[in-house]
Copies of this chain bind each other. A is one copy, B any other.
Amino acid sequence: MSVLIVGSTALDSIKTPNAENPRLLGGSASHAAVAASFFGPVKLVGIVGNDFPKKYLQLYRKHRIDLSGLQVQEGKTFHWAGEYEVNMNNRRTLLTELGVFEKFTPHLPDTHKKSPFVLLANIAPSLQHHVLDQMSRPKFVVADTMDLWLNIALEDLLRLLKRVDGFVLNDSEAHQLTKEDNVFAAMRKIHKLGPKYVIIKKGSHGSVLSSPQGFFICPAYPLHSVKDPTGAGDSFVGGMMGYLANARGPLEANLRRGMIHGSVVASFCCEGFGLKRTTGVKRAAIDQRVKELEQLTRF
């Protein structure tokens, strides 16, 4: 089944100690949509300016991503520039030019309104609400977020949590939201805010799911070096939702395997700048790493 993905579509200029890569294809929806595309059809909703490179539209199309919900407007595409420190854990923003993204209102084409699986990738909670307002009874809705919205749009976010099935955030955001250092204690508090499924991302330490059936500890695929972690979290949740939308059988088991597949797509994402490595990956290479993760965790 198709998965609907709404989020940011951007140009990322990324600096690391070893390299500088200007105006790469980026944004939460771009990473998530490409990741999901390995598992089945994807509908992307976002906005770009008329400066958006044609080669990036071709890249979306190469992944058979439905672009009928991508708005192209007069003006500049959202442009983010950031710099990573040597250890790749800390990054600082050098530049944020919102461009056409500043006035983005996600409009869903009629074909999108009945999508059973919905990923509200990282954008303002008010826009995530606006997407749900247009939907007709989706089967499974997951929202991602970032620290910015916890700081400036917490009320909107808290209202959103009552409308979604799953909520994905990283460990520092979970701490910010709940004041709990312990991820398991934090997840318990987040359930009380609404979501039945809570996933906390811990970067190279993997991720954890808390669900009605208990916890699932999901490993990260072991990488010896990371070129660029930008978009890894979006790739994780995108891959997870893409897998989930196309799997048969019980939800909980599929969600676990979805996290594993998302974790693998995220590992490819980290191996190249922007989407460079991810877009060169074949499904067989993903399945191979999933098999390796089975071996790596068996006891």
Footprint of B on A, CB under 8 Å? 86-89, 181-185, 188, 202, 204-206, 208, 214-219, 222-226, 253, 256-257, 259-260, 294-299
Contact = CB atoms under 8 A, between A and B. Distances in A.
Given A181-B87, A205-B205, A224-B185, A295 B219 contact: no
A87 B186 CA distance: 13
Q: Interface residues of A: mostly helix, strand, loop or mixed?
A: mixed
Tell me the number of copies of this protein.
Answer: 2
Given A202-B205, A205-B205, A224-B188, A214 B296 contact: yes
Contacts of A215: 222, 296
A188 to B, nearest CB: 7
Contacts of A185: 224-225
Nearest to A175: B87
A86 B182 CA distance: 11
Contacts of A219: 217, 219
A217 B184 contact: no
B224 A296 contact: no
A291 to B, nearest CB: 12
29 contacts: A86-B181, A182-B223, A182-B225, A182-B226, A183-B204, A184-B222, A184-B223, A185-B225, A188-B224, A202-B205, A205-B205, A205-B206, A206-B217, A208-B222, A214-B295, A214-B296, A215-B222, A216-B296, A216-B299, A217-B222, A217-B296, A217-B297, A218-B299, A219-B219, A253-B299, A256-B298, A256-B299, A257-B299, A294-B299
